[in-house]
Amino acid sequence: MNTTHDPHKPFNDLPPLPPSVDIETKAVLKKTTSCGRALAELKGIGRVIPNQALLIDSLILQEAQASSEIENIVTTSDAVYKAFSAQTGQIDLATKEVLRYREALWYAFNEMKRQQVLSTNLFVKCVQIIRENTAGIRKTPGTRIVNQTTGDIIYTPPEGEQRIRELLHELEKFIHSEDGIDPLIKLALIHYQFEAIHPFGDGNGRTGRIINLLYLSLNDLLDYPVLYLSKYIIDNRAEYYRLLRGITKEQNWEPWILYMLEGIEQTASHTRNKILAIKALMDTTTEMARNRLPGNVFSKELVELLFERPYTKIQHLIDRGIARRETASKYLKALEAIHILKSQRVGKETLFLNTRLYELLSHS
């Protein structure tokens, strides 16, 4: 089979996985060991936190924002955090797309945990949530990937719905095969293959990055999809695309696999440190609230709620059963009085910002 590709022609003969070349080189196996160790440390530190769910939405929103930024959908952390907490129609389109990415990730993660399967149907549902439409597999020919500077065509993905579905079915079989390949190496192979298939009219990159997190969770390498991998891709974006093209043109797999392993290792360490910092801040805030709040206001549940997302509001306390509306307002104002929270109006609501958590999350 021809393993090179004319960028002007649909890559309908995309080679199946695993590649015919050696992918378990000495360098790759060495990097796999250190990468696996970093992931194990991240998973372990997550388990020492009493309620991991406290941290998940804040970390996932960061991943959602970064993954969207790769596709030139740019918004601010503050806009995302506000929109996640506020009930307002005044949300810009970029922020809405970031929130839909979060929704797609959560939906896919819960479905994967329920079925223990990564399937074409799940990928389609992800992209439909991200794009907020009912589009499925590409049916219309003519998709081209072009150099944004020169306008040159650099890749033409497979065409024809039937062929695209065949390639996705082959990918599904590889994902779930018991082939002895280390899951971390397989993740790099899977990510390339999905991006090369390019099954959707839009949203392929974001869906592919969701699949990365799902695959790590499916293989019990993560408990929750909290790896902030898109930040690494943003910081090394040119290399990301160059190495993808290197596989398509020359089947040059080793540099790509090493790139992905390095990204996972760095990101796992970064995320672990972030979780430890959030946990330390939570402990400090708990002590501060216990010492300075009136006895009838302080509760561990109240402080934990402040760390689920940077912005809190009265309704969050009501929904959690911490207090009724009037009392909830007094609790939040008491927290503002001791400088744990800071209030601001967003539309018709008052939101209360956990300023130290926001600063911690904003510091990359």
What is the C-alpha to C-alpha distance for residues 228 and 239, in angstroms, rounded to an integer? 18
pTM for the model stands at 0.91
Nearest to residue 157, comparing CAs of 140, 136, 176? Answer: 140
> Taking Cα atoms as reference points, which of 331, 325, 355 lies closest to residue 342?
355
Whole-number pLDDT of residue 245: 94
Q: What is the pLDDT of residue 236?
A: 94
The amino acid present at 212, given as its one-letter code, is: N
pLDDT given at position 3:
52
> For residue 177, what pLDDT is reported?
97
How many Å separate Cα 174 from the centre of its chain? Answer: 22
Distance CA 241, CA 189 (A): 15
How far apart (Å, rounded) are the C-alpha atoms in residues 251 and 254? 9
Helix (H, G, I), strand (E, B) or coil at 340: coil
Cis status of the peptide bond prior to 310, with omega within 30 of 0? no
Which residues in the chain land under pLDDT 70?
1-4, 48-55, 74, 87-89, 364
Instruction: Please state which CATH class domain 293-362 belongs to.
Output: mainly alpha
pLDDT in tens, 86-131: 766 677 888 888 889 999 999 999 999 999 999 999 999 999 999 9
Do the Cβ atoms of 215 and 251 come closer than 8 Å?
Answer: no
DSSP 16: P
Q: CA 158, CA 144: separation in Å to the nearest integer?
A: 10
- Rounded to 5°, angle at Cα 271 from 269 and 274: 110
Give the model's pLDDT for residue 88. 62
Q: Which helix (H) or strand (E) holds 236?
A: none
Give the single-character DSSP code of 332: H
Domain boundaries, the chain: 26-274, 293-362
Distance of CA 40 to the CA centre of its chain: 18
What is the predicted pLDDT for the residue at 230? 85
- DSSP letter (8 states) at residue 7: T
Give the model's pLDDT for residue 198. 97
* The pLDDT of residue 2: 45
Q: Residue 311's beta-bridge partner residues? A: 353
Residues 6+ apart with CB under 8 A from 219: 183
pLDDT at residue 54, rounded to an integer: 62
User: Which fold, 26-274?
Assistant: Fic-like fold (1.10.3290)
